[in-house]
Amino acid sequence: MNTRNVFRKSLMAASAFALCLATNSYAQEGSDKSDLSKQVSSLMPGESNFMMAGLVTFGFVNQSTSYTSGGFKATDKTNSLGDVDRYEFSPMFLWRHGDKLLAEFEPSWDGSAIGVNWADVSYFVSRGLIIRGGYIVLPFGTYTKRLAAGWINKLPSDPMGVDMAGSDFGVEFEGGFPLGNMKWSYDVSLSNGFALANDGTITGVGINAMNNGKTVTGRLALLPLSNSSLEIGASGLVGSLATPAAATFSNINSTDTKGPSLSMYAVDLNFLHNINPVQLNFKAQYSTAAVSNMNYINPADTTSYTFTNSTSSYFAQLSVRPTQSKNKVLKKLELAMRYVNYTAPKQSLWGQNYSEVDVSLDYWLSWRTVLKLGFENLKSDGTTSFTNSNGLDGNSTSINRLIIQFATEL
């Protein structure tokens, strides 16, 4: 028997077997046909879509640091390709199902560790309401949620103290409505919250919340001008703080059984205005955090002591860009300046008065890709002394940085 006949007989046998299966399963196929059709329709192009976006920042940093402690001075010079404070690779994965459901996941690698910026799912209920759940960016202030991406930030680094709230596991309700010629927006979340550490700092409890109390965070914003060039926002965060099992702090009043609590407040402003041929953009934010007073252990002699556990920070930023210039090179340049102030609790282990002046000249290769040449001057004076009751311990640090940074949206 030749090869062609063998192949022909095999094909006939396979066809007969397939016909038998089709005949025996016809009834079941008929009953499942409707469900199968629905599943196929739900997977048709336009109903479900996957996309990867995200951001990349990379650069060079040359840094000179001067230390002063107890009358002793030292200087250290370093430079780095990449630099852990300004290098980031954060691909963002988005999956949309229909017009109502959106899942987001953004991991981040800073050159030494992989973290997650957010991982959540959003349901678009109506034009003025989005419900979101998962690992979310808390709606506190405007910087962390809107301005922190390297291709959006007009300077090479983030201002100190803007990440007071950060991200947490919770649910969020976000939206906005017109208000006559004005607009307003809201953003409110309920999350697991924070725990109080033995040195008075706060840390996230993560997905394994160790207390029954939750944290409420919210931001209300008003756009009073019809062209939406001005936005004014106010934020608040309140909640109880979890007490870890190994806690060494205690209530100032020994009869008080109430645990520590946290309250945070912020105001922010964003103003964009064109004065031909330049575009002016002013941004500012002030935020403060207060933890209820507790007794802590003095690391110098293990005695009990207390301090006013309040932290504040603010920044003001101005950028100028000749967007209407007829010169093709000049219109792509932008000059940005920023002042930052951060005050940590006096007599805490991290107590300091910190200030920062930043200047950057940016060249926009496209609307989402920028090359920055920046200079930063940072100064910090310690405000902790466990051997001198007068307060300032005399420790100070001064840092000058020259930064070249490339940032783009993927």
| 259-277 pLDDT tens trace | 899 999 999 999 999 998 9
What is the average pLDDT across 298-318? 90
Asked if the 38-409 domain carries CATH number 2.40.160.20, the reply is: no
Looking up tokens 């899942």 gives: 103
Q: How many CA atoms lie within 13 A of 154 on its CB side?
A: 21
CA distance 338 to 76: 25
- pTM of the predicted structure, to 2 decimals: 0.82
Domain boundaries along the sequence of the chain: 38-409
* pLDDT category of residue 223 using cuts at 50, 70 and 90: very high
* pLDDT category of residue 14 using cuts at 50, 70 and 90: very low
Residue 48, pLDDT above cutoff 70: yes
Q: What are phi and psi of 348, to 5 degrees?
A: -85, 165
Assigned token pair, 288: 């403060």
Strand partners, 104: 94, 120
CA distance 218 to 222: 14
Query: CA-CA-CA-CA torsion for 393, 394, 395, 398, nearest 10 degrees?
Result: 150
User: 163-167 — which CB contacts under 8 Å span 24+ positions?
Assistant: 164/140, 164/264, 164/266, 164/287, 164/289, 164/311, 164/313, 165/138, 165/140, 165/141, 165/217, 165/237, 165/264, 166/137, 166/138, 166/204, 167/116, 167/117, 167/118, 167/135, 167/136, 167/137, 167/138, 167/204
Q: What are phi and psi of 334, to 5 degrees?
A: -145, 135
Give the residue from 288, 198, 328 showing the smallest Cα distance to 250: 198
In this predicted structure, what is the pLDDT of residue 390?
43
Q: What are phi and psi of 258, to 5 degrees?
A: -75, 135
* pLDDT category of residue 251 using cuts at 50, 70 and 90: confident
> Residue 379 class from Cβ within 10 Å (0-12 exposed, 13-18 middle, 19+ buried)?
middle
Instruction: Give the three-class secondary structure for 77.
Output: strand
Assigned token pair, 61: 């940093």
Q: How many CA atoms lie within 13 A of 189 on its CB side?
A: 27
pLDDT in tens, 117-129: 999 999 999 989 9
Give the residue from 307, 374, 333, 387 showing the smallest Cα distance to 157: 374
Least confident piece of the model among 143-147, 320-324, 384-388: 384-388
Strand partners, 345: none
Least confident piece of the model among 2-16, 39-53, 332-346, 395-409: 2-16
pLDDT in tens, 51-96: 999 999 999 999 999 988 777 889 999 898 877 567 889 999 999 9
* pLDDT category of residue 103 using cuts at 50, 70 and 90: very high
No. of helices (H) and no. of strands (E), the chain: 2, 22
Helix, strand and coil content of the chain, in percent to the nearest 5, comes to: 10, 55, 35
